[in-house]
Amino acid sequence: MLFSPVISVLSTHDIEVAETLIGVIRFLLIFVAARTLAEILVRLSLPTIVGELLAGVLIGASGLHLLIPPSAHASLNNGLINIISSLASIPKEAVPDLYFETFPSLQAVATLGLYALLFLTGLESELEELVAVGTQAFTVAMAGVILPFAFGTLGLMFIFHVDLIPAIFAGASMTATSIGITASVFGELGYLKTREGQIVIGAAVLDDILGIVILAVVVALATGGSLEIAPIVKLVVAATVFVIAPIGLSRTAAPAFDWLLDRLKAPGAVVVASFVILVLSCFVATAIGLEAALGAFAAGLILSSSKNNHAIQQSVLPLVSLFATIFFVLVGAGMDLSVINPLDPASRSALIVAGFLLIVAIIGKIAAGWSFVIDKPTNRLVVGLGMMPRGEVGLIFLGLGTSAGLLTPSLEAAILLMVIGTTFLAPVLLRIVLKDKKPGGGNAIPDDIAADPVGLL
């Protein structure tokens, strides 16, 4: 590590004490703030992930300045500087330098949380559900990707004159659907096994796959700086194959994985073996020019058919609970919401962009509810609303876009508001629409068929 002149005069012991103290304070701030807001939102029947994001906003660059990523270019809270200086017995002027130079270690932990979350998302993907209502789910998924992506990208470029790559990335951030949030709401209301519920869950799985493929292509293009057709086609083909191949491997490689686990006796075999698959998949994705995030998702798909799926999920959940929380808090902490302050005339253009993205994000997904053909009574509004929340997947896009330096502060804040808005509105609107309706009425899928969706064919 290259120390600044201020730090270079400190002894090694002083530096180690200060770094340890800074690390402990960071973790305390992250988990106390995140869990407090998460508990509040749980009691309001809202997603806890939004609480983690808002916790970052509260203690980050837009709030108390207690957790400041170097990319935020904001000053550290003076009270925090004084506490660290007095406890570690180092000069006050040395604290900010130490704070920012040690920040990459926290970001590395957050990245691990991102990969664990995507791995878990792949594990939870019920590929059989796509077969149950495959045609309708595919149509809804394609419409739910194309409409917001096209209108968002073109609107940003031609109305707001945003550059091509940031506009494409912002459009891509609106493509995915949060499976967890929608499934949770449908489950609470007893609609998970209805025709609408199955269509939405199937389409959401496809949306995640398509969205992550788009993410991999956009990030690779942005970092490579090439917009030629041949590299784009190569990346699209590679990303598509990289997602399709794991679906096939889930039928062949998963049994081999189970065979290996049956012969491992040491404690922790499940989580270690799963982590090896995760690392290998991330490595392969990176080696062929894709995002490691796509590799993490693919690893989950490969093991989704494992007979040890439940055990794998249980071993991964603690990692997600700890490290993904750090990821989402850091995303919120890096946001500078002052760029969309409605009281500041200079910020109103950014606020208009945020409103535009939110409207496109809502309309694009609701319109997808009318994109499929079916000869049975189906509540299309419920399908559209179920596709609305971006949740953790939208935040994953935002986090990667921020770390890759693809977004301006105003566009970061606009995407953040879009994610928060759709994530908050979807559960509320679904509850209003379904409040006085009972599942069934010809729409419910029998339990035996829902348990074996292939039987619908």
Look up the CATH number of the domain holding residue 345.
1.20.1530.20
pLDDT tens figures, 234-286: 767 777 777 678 877 888 888 888 898 888 888 888 888 899 999 999 898 88
Cα–Cα distance, 375 to 38 (Å, whole number): 42
Indicate the burial class of 28 (C-beta count within 10 angstroms; 0-12, 13-18, 19 or more): exposed
Residue 444 pLDDT > 60: no
Instruction: Give the residue ranges of DSSP H helices in 4-47.
Output: 5-8, 12-43
Pair (238, 355) in one structural domain:
yes
Yes or no: say if 381 and 369 are a contact pair by the CB < 8 Å rule: yes
- The owner of tokens 């935020």 is 72
CB 179 within 8 A of CB 198: no
The count of structural domains within the chain is: 2
What does the CA dihedral 19, 328, 356, 47 come to, rounded to 10 degrees? -150
Same domain for 48 and 132?
Answer: no
Confidence tier at 450 by pLDDT (50, 70, 90): very low
Query: 141: which 2 tokens?
Result: 């998924």
Give me the chain's average pLDDT, please: 79
Q: Coil, helix or strand for 444? A: strand
How much is the pLDDT for 365? 92
Residue 65 sits in the same domain as residue 194? no
**292 with 420, same domain?**
yes
Q: How far is CA 334 from CA 102, 267, 319, 340, in A?
A: 16, 38, 22, 14
In the listed set 71, 99, 127, which residue is the last one of a domain according to the structure? 99
325-338 tens-digit pLDDT:
898 888 788 777 77
* Residue 99: both structure tokens together: 């704070």
With CA atoms as reference, report the closest residue to 16 among 78, 82, 85, 98. 98
For tokens 């929380």, the residue is 325
Residues 412, 274 share a domain: yes
Task: Point out the least confidently predicted range of 20-24, 223-227, 269-273.
Answer: 223-227
Cα-based distances in Å from 338 to 63, 64, 346: 10, 13, 10
pLDDT digits (tens, 9 = 90+) for 25-82: 999 999 999 999 989 988 877 767 778 878 988 998 888 989 988 877 778 889 998 9
| Torsion-angle region of 204 (φ positive above 0: left; ψ -120 to 50: alpha; else: beta) | alpha
Using the 3D structure, point to which of 38, 73, 99 is the last residue of a domain: 99
> Which residue segment(s) compose the domain that 331 sits in?
106-456
What is the predicted pLDDT for the residue at 441? 42
Residues 318 and 234 in one domain: yes
Q: Are residues 122 and 9 in the same domain?
A: no
Query: In angstroms, how far is CA 64 from the centroid of its own chain?
Result: 25
Contact 213, 241 (CB under 8 A): no
Distance, in Å, from the CA atom of 396 to the CA atom of 391, rounded to the nearest integer, reads 9
Q: Residue 254: what are its φ and ψ, rounded to 5°?
A: -60, -45
Q: What percent of the chain has pLDDT over 90?
A: 12
| pLDDT on residue 36 | 93
* 92 and 112, same domain (yes or no): no
Angle between helices 391-403 and 195-224 (to 10 degrees): 0
| pLDDT, position 428 | 78
Please give the model's pTM, rounded to 2 decimal places.
Answer: 0.71
pLDDT score of 442: 40
74 and 127 inside one domain = no
Residues 307 and 198 in one domain: yes
pLDDT given at position 2: 47
- For the stretch 132-171, pLDDT in tens is 667 788 899 889 999 999 999 999 999 998 888 888 888 9
Q: 59, 74, 99 — which closes off a domain?
A: 99
44 with 91, same domain: the answer is yes
Residues 6+ apart with CB under 8 A from 92: 81, 82, 85
- Alpha-carbon gap, residue 281 to 286, rounded angstroms: 9
Indicate whether 95 and 179 sit together in one domain: no
Please report how the helices 292-302 and 229-262 are oriented relative to each other, as an axis angle in degrees rounded to 10.
Answer: 40
Q: Tokens in use for 29?
A: 């701030």
- Six-digit token string for 75: 């000053």
